[in-house]
Structure 1
């Protein structure tokens, strides 16, 4: 199984590490300005910085893991909602096709709405109630309609959760602290005089790479739904696409009246 690396994070970290190496060379050979002596405090500072960065990363990953589950749950709930409605259509006379089209549009809106907002998704969720009203008029038992409405409420909860994770930053003060720690440690390392310059400069560049990589990784993980193809760490929405394809396959043939699988407009109550 191939291991994918987020090139944007690696490139950014390598760029900053390379810049720090150039600055270190200039400070040592050109400006002769390295006023900080190397002490055991440096080890404590670097260790503390990595600990804080790791703590914030672990905290943000919990939301990321939840975001990975939501698309699959959302797609499964939409398919279940359609299948239940299709089962009801076998016994009661209401128009299922607008309901199916609304669900397909809802899945497409979810794919874009996770990144751009959920106003369109909210409107489509409201349109589902038109079919619920038709079900009531067709004599569908209220408990069946209530079950469908509960499934719709779960979808709305999932949409709201995605929108919250995307827009609300994890403890803004902690994120500011991460940036300050990263910048402070890098500056201190650049101004520190080391006994072996070549080895010391390499260590400075290495620590800079690690600190910047962690800081950038935290930023990416805190916004799990990036633009399409923006990063390899983006939460995949392939299950949402598959659910949309499944519902598209359930479209009635041209000219065929939507009467369910057996073509009946009435009969026995469905088993949900």
Structure 2
């Protein structure tokens, strides 16, 4: 099952190529237009310029989506690094001397509370990334829990460097998740998708009525061009939302955050 889910694009493209071949050979070869067979209406040499232009447009749009995807690949690692840094600042706060004379400054820091807070933040971020909606009303209030840790330390005279470090890493993480939210929610402009679909329809239509010199050339060129264009279209659609984890084949690698969560559960203030 995993073999299929990790290769959905290539399977869909192969099925599309086979479908076009079947339509051309079992439907269009039995139809005629004023005595001219439907599958021989156009010479291949007449439409090569269309294929060249179509590949050029697909290449431009693929490059545009790839730039966002490459940026998205860095976000999980950066978020995990900021969470790791917050964990280290908490360790510093537990070990560094404290200042202040209030009763709160004299009491022991609540380690179970700190552990629960960081686990809550981490689990919330992971759940948000794995969610389909990517609701901003969930993630941004969750990030404020990091500042709650900073406020907790400030009230108890904890080292100011630890408080500053937690706030700086929280702000950096907020920027990263805001970028992830923007990439996930703001899909490629709609007219671009209309253009892609139009090109795909035109190319498939031309292949159905194009004349080839031999049957092997007919089968190979029709299947190959159909496969390539369908693959490119599905690839662009997948790259447009790299945080869509329902698409196992084209999404960013979330292992850095998952691995951090495992380490956090095993060693943080246990």
1:1-272 equivalence runs, <5 A: 6-32=6-32, 33-34=38-39, 36-38=41-43, 40-91=45-96, 92=98, 93-116=108-131, 117-118=134-135, 119-142=137-160, 144-227=162-245, 230-253=247-270
Contact 2:43 2:212 in 1 (8 A): yes
Q: Residues 61-86 of structure 1: CA distance to partner in whole angstroms, max 9, x if unpaired? A: 11111111110111011000110121
Contact 1:115 1:166 in 2 (8 A): no
CA distance in 2, matches of 1:105, 1:182: 46
Deviation at 1:153, TM superposition (A): 0.9
CA distance in 2, matches of 1:192, 1:156: 54
CA distance in 2, matches of 1:221, 1:36: 37
Q: Residues 198-246 of structure 1: CA distance to partner in whole angstroms, max 9, x if unpaired? A: 4223211210010000000111111112335x42332121111111122
Contact 1:20 1:205 in 2 (8 A): yes
TM-score (norm. length: structure 2)? 0.83
CA distance in 1, matches of 2:128, 2:141: 12
CA distance in 2, matches of 1:15, 1:232: 17
Contact 2:93 2:159 in 1 (8 A): no
Choose 21-30 or 34-43, whichever is displaced more: 34-43
Q: Residues 62-120 of structure 1: CA distance to partner in whole angstroms, max 9, x if unpaired? A: 11111111101110110001101210121335334333322223222222312422443
CA distance in 1, matches of 2:93, 2:46: 71
The runs of 5 or more residues in structure 1 that have no matched partner are 254-272
The runs of 5 or more residues in structure 2 that have no matched partner are 33-37, 99-107
TM-score (norm. length: structure 1)? 0.83
CA distance in 2, matches of 1:82, 1:251: 8
**Structure 1 vs Structure 2 CA RMSD:** 2.3
Deviation at 1:6, TM superposition (A): 4.3
Structure 1 stretches of 4+ with a deviation exceeding 6 A read: none
For this pair of structures, how many residues does the alignment match? 249
Contact 1:37 1:192 in 2 (8 A): yes
Choose 39-48 or 215-224, whichever is displaced more: 39-48
CA distance in 1, matches of 2:86, 2:8: 39
Contact 1:56 1:218 in 2 (8 A): yes
Aligned to 1:34, the other structure's residue is in SS state: helix
Higher helix share: 2
CA distance in 2, matches of 1:238, 1:127: 23
